[in-house]
Amino acid sequence: MSNKKLRIGKIKKSAAGLPAIVETIKQVVGEAGVTRGWKALNSMNRKDGFDCPGCAWPDPDDDRSALGEYCENGAKAIAEEATLKKLTPAFFAQHAIEDLATLSDYEIGRKGRIAQPMFLPQGASNYQPISWNEAFNKIGTALNQLSSPDEAIFYTSGRTSNEAAFLYQLFVREYGTNNLPDCSNMCHESSGVALGESLGIGKGSVKLEDFYEAEVIIILGQNPGTNHPRMLTALQKAKANGARIIAVNPLPETGLMGFSNPQQVKGLLGIDTPLTDIFLPIVINGDMALLKAIGYLLWQYEQQQPGSVFDRDFIRNHTEGYDAFINDLQQQDLDHLSQACGISVTQLTEVAELLKNKTRIIACWAMGLTQHVNAVDTIKEIVNLLLLKGSIGKPGAGTCPVRGHSNVQGDRTMGIYEKPGEQFLNNIAANFNFQPPQHHGYDVVEAIKAMHGGRASVFIAMGGNFLSATPDTNYTAAALRRCTLTVHVSTKLNRSHLVHGAEALILPCLGRSDKDIVNGEEQIVSCENSMGVIQLSKGVLEPVSNELLSEPVIVCRLAKATLGSRSKIDWDKYLQNYDHIRNDIERTIAGFTDYNKRVREPGGFYLPNCNREGSFNTTSKKAHFNIAPITTIKLEENELLMMTIRSHDQFNTTIYGLNDRYRGIYQERRVILMNRQDMDRRQLQQGDVVDIYNHHGGVERVAHKFIVVPYPIPPKCTATYFPEANVLVPVNSVAKKSNTPVSKAVVVTVKKVDA
């Protein structure tokens, strides 16, 4: 067993600094060489360059550093894509799928870029080269043979550009289904639902500048040092302007604690800015109780000095449901809430003291909040708190769901959604002369079940790694294996290519950093970042193979091969120049006036956002207070609650390396972080090997051979890495209303086994 390799070091006190620069150079030069690597880094996140394919954190509107804006993990994302290694037909001839499947995700990713379309005939053991035409015809034939378009599933990951996403949904809807599940279903869907219902828009309200004006920034369930490193620069600037930071997390995440800005000399020398002022080591899923406790204490202060704590004008003019909400809040029991979240009344009081006279408050959150059964209610509880303080729709305040994939928000704006709104469908019908299907399609969890149950049999993915990203890996694998055809538009090889339907195709596409030349002209695409800015993205690198097609071109050719003369859409027009795609987006979706012109302006443009402008697009035009109970997850004596999280060396299912530097864990990913008490109770030592079990719904799920690592995590809480632990996440354990898999609260037991 590999625990001989595991090395446990100290948890780092601050993020980034010189080690981040060293890592950056190592990764980029190692994969892409000096010249190509430098070219890529240098144009990443410049106003005329390409959008980082990493996270969706925004670029500063004005002053960007001379050297592009990027971070260690953005550089890793680019190294992954800019690699010069490629997979030739000879590679696939040499390596049977069975053999490739024995490699780790890390090893699979290292193999290189996919360089030509590949086909797996029924019963074959190896992928074989196929021409693009033949590939499109095969998909078209398979789609046209289905007895209903609803038997096909069209997944999207969040790197897809606006242009490709718009065409993709247009094709899928003209073909006849709304089966457009996307990674958002597993990510910020809970935020979209909660914010949509409470505030009338499913997106956050803050701009980057708001950070510099905020008095308090609360960060819940998010690990920015690893997953949104450039957010640390914003937090550093916020601190310099006097902001206080409250971090709510079961783990003392390094990036929350301190930051050595590698773009400043002080930072390079390892001189840190402490970030968090108040750290609340909450128990997993304790956030609802915490937020209620804070609300309760603030209400008590408000009682003592009416009008001094709550923003009465704002509440009166812009909200509804206040009285009922307060009525419910009054009945809470502080000690009970304190127990439920694992935070002492003293610390809760410290937080309330800090907040009581502040009005400019920003709340940021990510997967630690969205991937729970009660995620939607918890996020609405954040909104409740902001509403009490009038902290929405003014400078320095508001909601900040920090998005994951670099264009996940844009894909949704473009209509990648299984539950499209009426207005959107009407616009499609009016502009494109066909009736799009009205009934809802499948989201991710529903899609898995439909394939498993034989109700869907063709699976097409625009990017992503469906098998590894989704819950209940073995169940999902069985679902994919039941398909007649699985198709992946991909840049890199991943596990989803190896667990396939009767026939399978891999269609290699250009990545963000690749030059995209159509008709002899360099094309641009565009993306929407976490704060609703639309920006252009233009690749600069020579593609590793001249057989790669761009995603927009792939969609057009797929549409032509499938719909033929029955299509009402002029796909050839889009194949001339992507400006035509943007013109049609502009005609269909609000906020894109003068798209082609404005997207070419330095820094791009903001989409309209009603909250930011101080209004609420709900039916009553008011923001809603929401009342929901706290729910405690009951654990048996031997059970633990497990969250599945990201290490510092991965982007979702792409594994860059085996280290989790900030947490001090090296050379091993199959680890389970445990509290000492929980280890002692089970007579476990550091380095012991355990099998982890989940029994949700009476089904036994096992993850074999994880190494125990003692860690400062609250009792009864544990952590493992995604995607290794996804075998344990039950497909039937989902968030209410958003149907997001509950990846952060898996009930498990552990059993010691021989190493």
Ligand X SMILES: Nc1nc2c(c(=O)[nH]1)N[C@H]1C(S)=C(S)[C@@H](COP(=O)(O)OP(=O)(O)OC[C@H]3O[C@@H](n4cnc5c(=O)[nH]c(N)nc54)[C@H](O)[C@@H]3O)O[C@H]1N2
Decide if residue 471 touches Mo ion (CB under 5 A).
Answer: no
Closest CB to ligand X among residues 392, 655: 655
Alpha helices in 482-594 (DSSP H): 551-563, 571-576, 579-588
Q: With CB cut-offs between 5 and 8 Å by kind, which of Mo ion, ligand X, none does residue 55 bind?
A: ligand X
CA 334 to chain centre: 34
d(CA 487, CA 504): 6
C-alpha to C-alpha distances, 566 to 179, 284, 463, nearest whole angstrom: 20, 52, 27
- At 679, phi and psi to the nearest 5? -70, -45
| Choices 119-127, 341-349, 507-515, 685-693 (CB under 6 A): range interacting with ligand X | 507-515
What x-and-dash track marks residues 299-338 binding ligand X by CB under 6 A?
----------------------------------------
Residue 596 Cβ, how far from Mo ion at the closest point, in Å? Answer: 29
Q: In terms of CB distance, is 279 or 722 closer to ligand X?
A: 722
CA quadruple 447, 449, 452, 453: dihedral sign? negative
Cα angle, residue 82 at apex, residues 229 and 572 outer, rounded to 5°: 105
Judged by beta carbon, residue 200 or residue 404, the one nearer Mo ion is 404
Smallest gap from Cβ 156 to Mo ion, in A, equals: 12
Binding-site partner at residue 557 among ligand X, Mo ion, none, CB < 5 to 8 Å by type? none
Is there a contact between 311 and 260 (Cβ–Cβ < 8 Å)? no
- For residues 731 and 694, the answer to whether their CB atoms sit within 8 Å is no
Inter-residue contact 156 to 554 (CB < 8 Å): no
Q: How far apart are the first and last CA of the chain?
A: 6
Of 37 and 158, which CB lies nearer to ligand X in the complex structure?
A: 158
Cβ-contact 632, 638 below 8 angstroms: no
Range 124-183, binding ligand X (CB under 6 A): 157-159, 183
Among 209-217, 230-238, 268-276, 650-658, the segment contacting ligand X (CB under 6 A): 650-658
Q: Which does 511 bind (CB under 5 to 8 A by kind): ligand X, Mo ion, none?
A: ligand X
Q: Mask of contacts with Mo ion, 131-170, x by CB under 5 A?
A: ----------------------------------------
Q: Which helix (H) or strand (E) holds 597?
A: helix 595-598
Considering the complex, state which of residue 56 and residue 326 has its C-beta at the smaller distance from ligand X: 56
Helix (H, G, I), strand (E, B) or coil at 434: coil
CB of 428: closest distance to ligand X in angstroms?
A: 23
Q: Which is nearer to Mo ion, 255 or 404 (CB)?
A: 404
Complex with ligand X: residue 319 or 526, whichever CB lies closer: 526
373 is a contact residue toward ligand X (CB under 6 A):
no
Cα distance between residue 548 and residue 518, in whole Å: 12
Distance CA 11, CA 711 (A): 9
Q: Hey, what amino acid is at 204?
A: G
**Is there binding between residue 735 and ligand X (CB under 6 A)?**
no
* Residues 367, 370, 372, 377, CA torsion sign: positive
744 binds ligand X (CB under 6 A): yes
With CB under 5 to 8 Å by kind, the binding choice for 653 among Mo ion, ligand X, none is ligand X
Distance CA 290, CA 340 (A): 8
Structure token pair of residue 257 = 């604690």
Nearer to ligand X, 236 or 530 (CB): 530
650 contact choice in ligand X, Mo ion, none (CB below 5 to 8 Å, kind-dependent): ligand X
Q: Looking at beta carbons only, is 37 or 463 nearer to ligand X? A: 463
Binding mask 583-612 for ligand X (x = CB under 6 A): ------------------------------
Binding to ligand X (CB under 6 A): which residues in 178-217? 183, 186-187
- Indicate which single residue of 644, 659, 675, 739 sits in contact with ligand X (rule: CB under 6 A): 644
User: Which helix (H) or strand (E) element contains residue 217?
Assistant: strand 216-220
- Give one DSSP letter per residue of 236-295, joined into a string: HHHHHTT-EEEEE-SS--HHHHEEE-TTSHHHHTTPPEE--SEEE-PPTT-HHHHHHHHH
C-beta of 32 vs 734, nearer to Mo ion? 734
How far is the CA of 331 from the CAs of 134, 268, 324, 337, 347, in angstroms? 67, 51, 11, 11, 21
Binding to ligand X, residues 479-498 (CB under 6 A): 489-492, 494
- Does residue 643 bind ligand X (CB under 6 A)? yes
Q: Which does 54 bind (CB under 5 to 8 A by kind): Mo ion, ligand X, none?
A: ligand X
Q: Which two tokens stand for residue 325?
A: 């909400």
- Examine residue 187 and tell whether it contacts Mo ion (CB under 5 A): yes
Task: Say which entry of Mo ion, ligand X, none residue 3 contacts (CB below 5 to 8 A, set by partner kind).
Answer: none
Distance CA(49)–CA(29), nearest Å, equals 19
Q: Give the nearer residue to ligand X in terms of CB position, either 169 or 743.
A: 743
Of 326 and 540, nearer to ligand X (C-beta) is 540
**Cα 495 to Cα 523: distance, rounded to the nearest angstrom:** 31
Residue 44 DSSP symbol: B
Q: Which is nearer to ligand X, 368 or 501 (CB)?
A: 368
Angle at 220 between CA 311 and CA 247, to 5 degrees: 90
Least spacing, CB of residue 721 vs Mo ion, in Å: 15
Can you tell me which of 404, 436, 539, 604 binds Mo ion, judged by CB under 5 A? 404
Kindly state the DSSP code that residue 627 receives in the 8-state scheme: -
- Give the residue with the Cβ less far from ligand X, 6 or 164: 164
Judged by CB under 5 A, the stretch of 16-24, 397-405, 418-426, 538-546 that binds Mo ion is: 397-405
CB of 58 to Mo ion, least distance (A): 16
Between strands 671-674 and 717-721, the pairing is antiparallel
Residues 439-468 that bind ligand X (CB under 6 A): 462-466
Q: Does 192 bind Mo ion (CB under 5 A)?
A: no
Q: What letter represents residue 458's amino acid?
A: V
Q: Read off the amino acid at residue 454.
A: G
Asked if 552 interacts with ligand X (CB under 6 A), we say: no
d(CA 530, CA 206): 9
> Please, which residue, 176 or 225, has the CB nearer to ligand X?
225
Q: Of 456 and 509, which has the nearer Cβ to ligand X?
A: 509
The distance of closest approach from Cβ of residue 250 to ligand X in the complex, given in angstroms and rounded to an integer, is 5
- Considering only CA atoms, which of 498, 633, 548, 426 is closest in space to residue 104? 498
Size of the site for ligand X (CB under 6 A): 61
Q: Does 469 bind ligand X (CB under 6 A)?
A: yes
Give me 180's structure tokens. Answer: 């457009």
Contacts of 477 (CB under 8 A, 6+ apart): 467, 499
Q: Which of 530, 238, 196, 607 is nearest to 395 (CA)?
A: 238
Residue list 244-303, contact with ligand X (CB under 6 A):
248-251, 253, 282, 284-285, 287
Binders in 591-610 for Mo ion, by CB under 5 A: none
CB of 404 to Mo ion, least distance (A): 3
742 vs 370: CA distance, rounded Å: 8
Q: Which residues of 556-587 are buried (b: 16+ CB within 10 A; e: fewer)?
A: bbbbbbbbeeebebebeebbeebebbbbbbbe
Q: How many other C-beta atoms can be found within 10 angstroms of the C-beta atom of residue 96?
A: 13
* Binding interface with ligand X (CB under 6 A): 53-55, 73, 157-159, 183, 186-187, 220-223, 226-228, 248-251, 253, 282, 284-285, 287, 366-368, 371, 404-405, 462-466, 469, 489-492, 494, 509, 511-512, 551, 643-646, 650-654, 722, 726, 729, 743-744
* Binding interface with Mo ion (CB under 5 A): 187, 404
